[in-house]
């Protein structure tokens, strides 16, 4: 033992044998109690950390241990205090190994694993009853005593434990001493903790025992691990160990729930479920399956393709709302019916005619979605084919029936004609005509609904249509707020108006559904982090009597998907499975659900099932999305091309194709594809991709104009300002560059959310403020996803602050996720081609510094 390390026992009662362990706060010695003739473990506070806070911490550990008396908790025997303020704890010595060491052994019996977990639960139950949360429950802090007839588990190291009522700041959220494997989402976020934080750590322990891996992978990047713990779903235990019973897999999922309220109620409840598990049902030698780290490597979140995903998800949920009926069984010989979009009126069309036309369309959709033997093609598909020939519309939608409405209006009235067409022979099999007054949109709705009944007597309604619980004036306002095209620029104003309308007509469910659709789009298209909070408050206002309506459930599905609350969204999907008559529509909803979760393999399976039942441009887009996010961008191309062959005006398919081309470095093809879309029809991320393509092509004047227009359209997004700063530097205009960076910094400070924190860090880096850039990053790391967009932005920040090792790690990560080297052939990344820190990266990716892009559009650096 070194001479500089004083003996931990000034009393002489304990004879030190040897050092047996060390941690961040103390050194542990094996000793003999000469009075009681037993071996003990003495934990001595380290000399180099013996400050007042550290002494308070070890004294607290002593107090907590003294209050605990349980066979599965290491016992405290004595407290030794020295004249200079030093402290040592004399504790029970456990002969054996840590759980971490024990888990490395091969062939551990399932009954032993279950027994250890039940013992840990028993110890936790006593601690929790006394109001104590361990907060660092990891395998290294569980000792396994192998003496005697059975295995005995004992919890140790209550060094960072706390009473629930304690509010000391000895351990701050910024410097969490708990290991990453044991920390709960709420602990990472600095939220108040209770016993359920330990249950999360128990779930990590149990997952390791039964799956042999940490549920959040083995990355050594704390930013990545924190993001996974707080936001990402873990790989299902059944994926890693198919030999586990379903009940045990579900228990692990509940223990690892992000929200404490969704975890089991107590450690005793967990023990009860574990004791009910049959060890014989657990495979002793589970087959090798995927690694948890591989599961996360395949995950990608919405970046430049995000708008296509948002559109697909929004349209899928809207289609669900149209088809979510009262539990009727699917019809075996049902036929698909599509609605022909009415001819668009010119500028001379009056507001009254436009609103009545919209009301008629709403009535037609509602009337057709509620019919025995009919499946309604989603309105999103029909709308895309506006002004196409009837033959083209029938073929594109794979529909056996078409309903063709025509409205001719005079000064006070409109004549509505409804024509039902059989597409095989293209003959009219029924028609109806009716006169509608321009004075009443509600009257037009009810009359149109009645005509649908007369038109389709062979397809009776499954249930009576609900009464419209809204007045004429408020219904007219609702019609005005329904989107009729690109909405991303005015979403906030529309949400404000819908909130005002809800106050007047709280019983009208359609308000909530429209609100949910727009808020979902605002969250992902505009990066508005507040929209989901607004949606949650809006749904809280819904009267209880409409809580289970289709519209409210659809709005909740928007909320749950945006919040990554997979358990809650899965509950709605379970209802859909029994309620949706159109099985293809259900499979599409399932594909969206799995895609948002990042389980692209299951999303692809669901997409294939939907396409097997009906060829749909939306289903083809979803298939291409899942392939793209799985890194198979070339494999996605045929599905996008097929969708464009069906409908060459299908903007979402063209958008995704352009995004894939950009990620693969074919910038010229991205520009060509997006230039075919009329400027007023470009969505937010199309706009961004077009600007980025010009920037990567080094067409700086064109890129600068593009980013200028983008910022005008989306002033909530400061990233265009940062790119304008980069362009100004490329053009040797440093003062102009500084002005853009300062403006971006000022705006990002006024806004919340990880995206704005990331932009704030990048602005600091551009201004040469390295320490402030890193400080902003520390506030970002717990939230930002592990995708190409975030990794490339982090690489920009680190290379600007001269942290080249971190820059290299994030560049490598983005390239692993499928991003093309072309993204790094700009002035900001010049060091890649000259500095030794990037030598290995240059060797693995030689086109980072040499050659041109596949289409020759990028200059050699």
Mean pLDDT by 10 residues, the chain (861 residues): 52 85 75 90 69 62 75 86 74 86 74 93 91 86 77 78 42 40 79 89 92 80 70 77 85 90 91 92 60 53 44 57 45 78 63 89 86 84 79 86 92 91 91 91 90 90 76 90 62 89 92 90 73 92 87 87 82 74 83 82 90 89 86 87 84 88 86 83 81 90 92 83 93 94 89 79 90 76 64 86 85 80 83 89 83 33 19
- Provide the greatest CA pair distance for the chain: 108
Token pair for 536: 């949650």
Token pair for 456: 């389709």
44 is in an annotated binding site: yes
pLDDT at position 484:
53
Write down the CATH superfamily of domain 1-93: Phosphorylase Kinase; domain 1 (3.30.200.20)
* CATH topology for the 684-848 domain: 1.25.40
Query: 582, exposed or middle or buried, with CB in 10 Å at 0-12, 13-18, 19+?
Result: buried
Backbone angle region of 138, left / alpha / beta, with phi > 0 → left and psi within -120 to 50 → alpha = beta
pLDDT at position 740:
94
Query: 90, exposed or middle or buried, with CB in 10 Å at 0-12, 13-18, 19+?
Result: buried
pLDDT at position 435:
93
Strands 14-22 and 26-33: antiparallel
pLDDT at position 105:
65
In angstroms, the CA 384 to CA 375 distance is 18
Token pair for 415: 């004549």
Place of tokens 């028993």: 122
pLDDT at position 256:
92
Tell me the CA distances in angstroms from 458 to 126, 334, 454, 685, one per residue in order: 67, 12, 10, 46
CB 559 within 8 A of CB 539: yes
Sheet containing strand 142-145, edge to edge, reads: 96-98, 142-145, 152-155
The full set of domain ranges for the chain reads 1-93, 96-297, 306-405+454-641, 684-848
Q: What is the CATH architecture assignment of 306-405+454-641? A: Alpha Horseshoe (1.25)
Strands 152-155 and 142-145: antiparallel
- Residue 284 Cα to chain centre, angstroms: 34
Q: What is the DSSP string of 744-810?
A: HHHHHHT--SHHHHHHHHHHHHHTT-HHHHHHHHHHHTTT--SSHHHHHHHHHHHHHTT-HHHHHHH
pLDDT at position 118:
95
In angstroms, the CA 850 to CA 667 distance is 17
pLDDT at position 178:
41
pLDDT at position 2:
43
Q: Where are the alpha helices (DSSP H) in 73-214?
A: 99-103, 110-129, 185-188, 195-211
Contacts of 423 (CB under 8 A, 6+ apart): 394, 399, 400, 401, 402
pLDDT at position 166:
43
E strand intervals along 661-744: none
pLDDT at position 277:
92
CB 535 within 8 A of CB 558: yes
- Run of H or E residues at 144: strand 142-145
Contacts of 819 (CB under 8 A, 6+ apart): 663, 788, 791, 792
> Count of alpha carbons within 13 Å of 192, Cβ hemisphere only?
6
Backbone angle region of 694, left / alpha / beta, with phi > 0 → left and psi within -120 to 50 → alpha = alpha
In angstroms, the CA 455 to CA 845 distance is 64
Residues serving a catalytic function are 136
Residue 78 has a CB neighbour count (10 Å cut-off) of 16
Query: 844, exposed or middle or buried, with CB in 10 Å at 0-12, 13-18, 19+?
Result: exposed
pLDDT at position 310:
53
Q: Which residues pair with 88 in a beta bridge?
A: 44, 80
In angstroms, the CA 550 to CA 327 distance is 12
Do 96-297 and 306-405+454-641 fold alike per CATH? no
Contacts of 545 (CB under 8 A, 6+ apart): 507
* CATH topology for the 96-297 domain: Transferase(Phosphotransferase); domain 1 (1.10.510)
Token pair for 184: 């709960």
Strands 374-376 and 335-339: parallel
pLDDT at position 179:
54
3-state helix, strand, coil in the chain (%, to 5): 55, 10, 35
Residue 21, φ and ψ in degrees, nearest 5: -175, 165
Strands 401-409 and 335-339: parallel
pLDDT at position 264:
92
Token pair for 499: 């909130």
In angstroms, the CA 124 to CA 745 distance is 47
pLDDT at position 302:
36
Contacts of 402 (CB under 8 A, 6+ apart): 337, 338, 339, 340, 390, 393, 394, 420, 421, 423
Token pair for 237: 């235990």
In angstroms, the CA 58 to CA 27 distance is 12
- Run of H or E residues at 79: strand 76-81
């Amino acid at each position: 033992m070194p001479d500089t390390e004083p003996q931990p026992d000034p009393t002489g009662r304990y004879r030190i044998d040897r050092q047996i362990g060390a941690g961040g706060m103390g050194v542990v010695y094996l000793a003999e109690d000469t009075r009681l003739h037993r071996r003990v473990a003495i934990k001595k506070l380290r000399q180099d950390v013996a400050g007042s806070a550290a002494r308070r911490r070890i004294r607290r550990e002593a107090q907590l241990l003294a209050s605990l008396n349980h066979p599965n908790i290491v016992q405290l025997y004595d407290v030794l205090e020295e004249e200079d303020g030093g402290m040592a704890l004399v504790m029970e010595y456990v002969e054996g190994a840590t759980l971490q060491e024990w888990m490395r052994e091969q062939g551990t019996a399932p009954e032993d694993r279950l027994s250890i977990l039940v013992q840990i639960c028993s110890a936790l139950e006593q601690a929790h009853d006394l109001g104590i949360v361990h907060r660092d429950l990891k395998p290294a802090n569980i000792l396994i005593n192998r003496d005697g007839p059975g295995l005995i588990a004992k919890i140790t190291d209550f060094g960072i434990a706390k009473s629930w009522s304690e509010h000391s700041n000895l351990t701050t959220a910024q410097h969490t001493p708990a290991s990453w494997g044991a920390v709960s989402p709420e602990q990472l976020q600095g939220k108040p903790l209770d016993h359920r934080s330990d249950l999360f750590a128990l779930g990590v322990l149990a997952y390791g025992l039964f799956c042999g891996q940490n549920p959040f992978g083995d990355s050594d990047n704390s930013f990545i691990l924190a993001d996974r713990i707080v936001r990402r779903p873990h790989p299902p235990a059944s994926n890693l160990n198919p030999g586990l019973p379903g009940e045990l897999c579900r228990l692990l999922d509940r223990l690892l729930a992000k929200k404490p309220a969704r975890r089991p109620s107590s450690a005793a409840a967990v023990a009860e479920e574990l004791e009910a598990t049959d060890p014989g049902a657990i495979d002793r030698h589970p087959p090798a399956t995927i690694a948890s780290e591989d599961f996360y490597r395949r995950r990608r979140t919405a970046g430049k393709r995000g708008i296509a995903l948002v559109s697909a998800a929004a349209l899928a949920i809207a289609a669900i709302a149209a088809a979510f009926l009262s539990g009727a069984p699917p019809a075996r010989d049902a036929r698909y019916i599509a609605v022909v979009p009415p001819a668009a009126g010119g500028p001379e069309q009056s507001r009254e005619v436009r609103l009545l036309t919209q009301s008629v369309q709403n009535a037609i959709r509602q009337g057709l979605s509620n019919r025995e033997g009919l499946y309604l093609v989603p309105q999103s598909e029909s709308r895309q084919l506006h002004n196409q020939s009837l033959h083209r519309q029938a073929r594109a939608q794979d529909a056996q029936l078409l309903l063709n409405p025509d409205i001719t209006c005079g000064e006070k009235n409109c004549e509505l004609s409804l024509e039902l067409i059989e597409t095989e022979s293209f003959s009219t099999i029924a028609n109806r005509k009716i006169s509608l007054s321009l004075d009443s949109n509600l009257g037009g709705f009810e009359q149109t609904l009645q005509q649908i009944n007369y038109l389709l007597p062979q397809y009776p309604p499954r249930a009576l249509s609900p009464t419209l619980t809204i007045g004429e004036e408020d219904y007219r306002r609702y019609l005005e707020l329904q989107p009729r095209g690109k909405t991303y620029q005015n979403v906030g104003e529309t949400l404000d108006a819908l909130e005002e309308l809800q106050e007047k007509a709280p019983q009208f469910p359609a308000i909530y559904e429209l609100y949910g659709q727009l808020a979902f789009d605002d969250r992902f298209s505009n990066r508005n982090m507040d929209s989901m909070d607004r949606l949650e408050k809006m749904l809280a206002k819904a009267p209880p009597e409409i809580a289970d309506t289709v519209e409210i459930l659809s709005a909740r599905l928007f909320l749950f998907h945006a919040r990554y609350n997979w358990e809650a969204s899965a509950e709605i999907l379970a209802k859909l499975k029994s309620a949706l008559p159109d099985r293809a529509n259900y499979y599409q909803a399932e594909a969206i659900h799995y895609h948002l979760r990042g389980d692209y393999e299951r999303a692809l399976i669901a997409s294939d099932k939907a396409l097997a039942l009906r060829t749909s441009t939306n289903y083809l887009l979803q298939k291409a999305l899942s392939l793209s996010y799985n890194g198979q961008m070339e494999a996605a191309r045929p599905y996008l091309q097929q969708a464009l062959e069906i409908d060459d005006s299908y903007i979402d398919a063209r958008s995704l194709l352009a995004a894939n081309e950009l990620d693969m470095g074919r910038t010229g093809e991205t520009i060509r594809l997006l230039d075919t879309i009329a400027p007023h029809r470009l969505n937010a991320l199309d706009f961004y991709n077009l600007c980025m393509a010009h920037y990567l092509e080094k067409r700086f004047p064109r890129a600068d104009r593009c980013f200028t227009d983008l910022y005008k359209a989306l002033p909530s997004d400061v990233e265009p300002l940062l790119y304008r700063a980069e362009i100004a530097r490329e053009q040797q205009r440093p003062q102009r560059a500084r002005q853009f960076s300062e403006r971006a910094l000022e705006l990002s400070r006024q806004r919340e959310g990880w995206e704005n924190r990331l932009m704030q860090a990048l602005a600091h880096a551009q201004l040469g403020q390295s320490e402030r850039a890193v400080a902003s990053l520390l506030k970002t790391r717990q939230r930002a996803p592990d995708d190409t967009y975030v990794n490339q932005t982090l690489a920009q920040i680190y290379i600007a602050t001269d942290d080249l090792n971190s820059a290299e790690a994030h560049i490598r990560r983005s390239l692993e996720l499928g991003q093309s080297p072309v993204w790094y052939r700009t002035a900001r990344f010049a060091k890649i081609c000259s500095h030794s820190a990037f030598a290995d990266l240059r060797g693995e990716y030689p086109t980072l510094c040499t050659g041109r892009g596949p289409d020759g559009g990028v200059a050699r650096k």
